[in-house]
Structure 1
Amino acid sequence: MITWHELYMVMSAVVPLYVPMLLAYGSVRWWAVITPEQCGGINRFVAVFAVPLLIFKVISASDLYAMDIRFAAADTLQKLLVLAALAVWCRLAPSSLAGLDCSITLFSFSTLPNTLVVGIPLIAPMYGPHAADLVVQLVVLQCIVWYTMLIFLFEFRAARLLVAGRFPGGVATVCVDPDVVSLDVDGSQADGTVVQEGSTTTVEAKDGGGTTPPFGVRLRLILPMVWRRLIRNPNTYACVLGLTWSLIKFRFHITMPAIVANSISILSDAGLGMAMFSLGLFMAMQPKIIAGSNTVTAATMAVRFLLGPAVMAIASAAVGLRGTLLRIAIVQAAIPLGIVPFVFAKEYNLHAAILCTG
């Protein structure tokens, strides 16, 4: 049974996280001291500088040689179980595209918590510094593996829409402009580049009536897009550089020069608060806090706070986690949805309002 002292420790870790979020929300909605144009600049600063440097600092300070393999395996198994269930859902859904759309959103809700911003500050006072180090290991996997998987799913959906929508009944070719970093649904990007017809990738349809291109065709369209998204994402560099420095630091027992460490800290220390501030700005820019119907909101909350932790409990038990490790695994799976899945959903125009509510 949780004691009042433990409850206070949890609240003292969680409540301060939401203070900057509420300030940001009020600054836009109630007091009008920040304009929508200024919100874009603040969000850009958070995405390009604050959060990547925070990721680098957290990962580089963690001893990855002491990684708990079973703990990481439980997290991986949870996501694989959800992916397998969603793959079956896609096959059985009346519309394969509708099934894919829902599957991407459900994967985000059930398996991608806000580990960096909420998870570490919450779990550290509950279970100690070692628990926080374990959660950092999941941050590494989440940023490098699972966010890449999420981008792949979004691009897979975009490729299907692009090819099936433009060439519904015959053989054709698709050429992707080298500057395009995503196969957006309508073929256009924010920077003005366009997905064009050309002679790069040949598309299916021997019977003249097929609408779904072969998987190999979609894969040839998707992989370049995923690569371009990753190499232009500051979080990718933050993860790789943080991982590299962590391996060097704890292998050879060397420290970062003070002038470099202090330069990173001055921005990364602001990363946590700025990330929550940015989330509050996102919420304030939406027409309403609760997007969609109450039924949809209740269903997504059940997926986030019940289904995700339940699958994690099954995965943890399967790999042999017991005691405190089991509790840490379940708690980190039950924290709110991460910010990055919402950012991706907004960029790809897929259920962004629902994820903002989450």
Structure 2
Amino acid sequence: MEIGWGDVYKVVTAMAPLYVALALGYGSVKWWRMFNPDQCDAINRFNCYFIIPFFTFHFTSGVDPYHMNYRFLAGDAIAKAIAGAALALWANLWRRGNLSWAITSFSLSSLNNTLVVGVPLLEVMYGPTGVDLVVQSSVIQSLLWFPILLFLLEFWRATAAAAAADAANTAPVINVNDTAAAAAATAKEGGNGASSNNLGRTMKKVCAKLGKNPNCYACGVGLIWALIAKR
């Protein structure tokens, strides 16, 4: 199957509104000074709490949960798992590897903006079938992969905070060998409990942040709507 100029034109016309809006938004703040930081923050909050959730609900409610393309979803999950495993090995084995860059790389390479970018692009390339696949991927991404990413971010923050606290508390001390030995023994005995507490606190933070994310509610309500409507 050859790709003709007509196909290129369809893709360009589908993507142009998005990128023109992005360019105008960037220029209005960076060059033309039409909006101050407070106004930009208000616009971002309005998009976060109203526009994007309704946008997500609109597409999620149209999916058919009883006829999902499980081969496509399995392939998507395998691809994300391979990317995550490769980045985890890089973070642990490579000298310059670190967890923060591994999480960022996984987010950029695997958790792309499926609805805003994917829907118009795949609609002109593959029609309704492509849109349906993008929406299915977006549902799984919102319900599974975003919580995993949020957990990893909170885990990294907790690890970084603990490392900073250890570095701050570690200092050369003279003639306190007994005190240092006692502190080390206490830390060793309470290590497992501290790890469990850190994990528990991390999970609580993740649940609290998910509870404040309107996109999660929009996706969940849209999926319930689809389950009832397509029954």
- TM-score normalized by structure 1? 0.56
Question: For 1:165, what is the secondary structure of its paired residue?
Answer: helix
Q: State how far apart, in whole Å, the 2-side matches of 1:242 and 1:5 are.
A: 35
Q: State how far apart, in whole Å, the 2-side matches of 1:246 and 1:122 are.
A: 24
1:81 paired residue number: 82
Question: For 1:102, what is the secondary structure of its paired residue?
Answer: helix
1:267 paired residue number: none
1:237 paired residue number: 217
Report which structure shows greater RCO (CA 8 Å, sep ≥6). 2
Matched, 1:124 2:104: no
Deviations 1:5-50 (A, max 9, x none): 1111111111111111111112112222212210000000000000
Deviations 1:95-121 (A, max 9, x none): 7xx510111111012111111100011
Matched, 1:101 2:100: yes
Q: State how far apart, in whole Å, the 2-side matches of 1:47 and 1:4 are.
A: 37
CA drift at 1:142: 1.0
1:227 paired residue number: 207
CA drift at 1:205: 5.3
Matched, 1:5 2:6: yes
Q: State how far apart, in whole Å, the 2-side matches of 1:206 and 1:65 are.
A: 56
CA drift at 1:163: 2.4
2:44 paired residue number: 43
Q: State how far apart, in whole Å, the 1-side matches of 2:226 and 2:45 are.
A: 27
By percentage of residues, which structure has more helix?
A: 2
Q: State how far apart, in whole Å, the 1-side matches of 2:195 and 2:140 are.
A: 27
State the identity %.
43
CA distance change for structure 1 residues 215 and 82 in 2, over 3 Å: closer, same or farther? farther
**Aligned-pair Cα RMSD in Å:** 2.2
Q: State how far apart, in whole Å, the 2-side matches of 1:138 and 1:165 are.
A: 38
Q: What pairs with 1:261-272 in structure 2 (closer than 5 Å)? A: none
Deviations 1:283-330 (A, max 9, x none): xxxxxxxxxxxxxxxxxxxxxxxxxxxxxxxxxxxxxxxxxxxxxxxx
Q: Bigger shift: 229-238 or 29-38?
A: 29-38
Is the 1:159–1:218 contact (alpha carbons within 8 Å) kept by the matching residues of 2?
Answer: yes
The letter of the residue matching 1:148 is P
Q: State how far apart, in whole Å, the 1-side matches of 2:15 and 2:68 are.
A: 26
Q: What pairs with 1:259-338 in structure 2 (closer than 5 Å)? A: none
The answer for unaligned runs of 5 or more in structure 1 is 171-203, 252-358
1:33 paired residue number: 34
Matched, 1:218 2:198: yes
Question: For 2:19, what is the secondary structure of its paired residue?
Answer: helix
Q: For the pair shown, which has the larger CA radius of gyration, 1 or 2?
A: 2
1:280 paired residue number: none
The letter of the residue matching 1:249 is A
Is the 1:169–1:205 contact (alpha carbons within 8 Å) kept by the matching residues of 2?
Answer: no
CA distance change for structure 1 residues 245 and 205 in 2, over 3 Å: closer, same or farther? farther
- TM-score normalized by structure 2? 0.86
CA distance change for structure 1 residues 99 and 215 in 2, over 3 Å: closer, same or farther? farther
| Count of aligned residue pairs for this structure pair | 214
Deviations 1:68-108 (A, max 9, x none): 0000001111111111112212221337xx51011111101
1:343 paired residue number: none
2:111 paired residue number: 112
CA distance change for structure 1 residues 231 and 4 in 2, over 3 Å: closer, same or farther? same
CA drift at 1:169: 9.5
Is the 1:169–1:208 contact (alpha carbons within 8 Å) kept by the matching residues of 2?
Answer: no
Q: State how far apart, in whole Å, the 1-side matches of 2:76 and 2:23 are.
A: 31
Q: What pairs with 1:246-257 in structure 2 (closer than 5 Å)? A: 246-251=226-231
CA distance change for structure 1 residues 22 and 31 in 2, over 3 Å: closer, same or farther? same
Runs of 4+ residues deviating >6 angstroms:
none
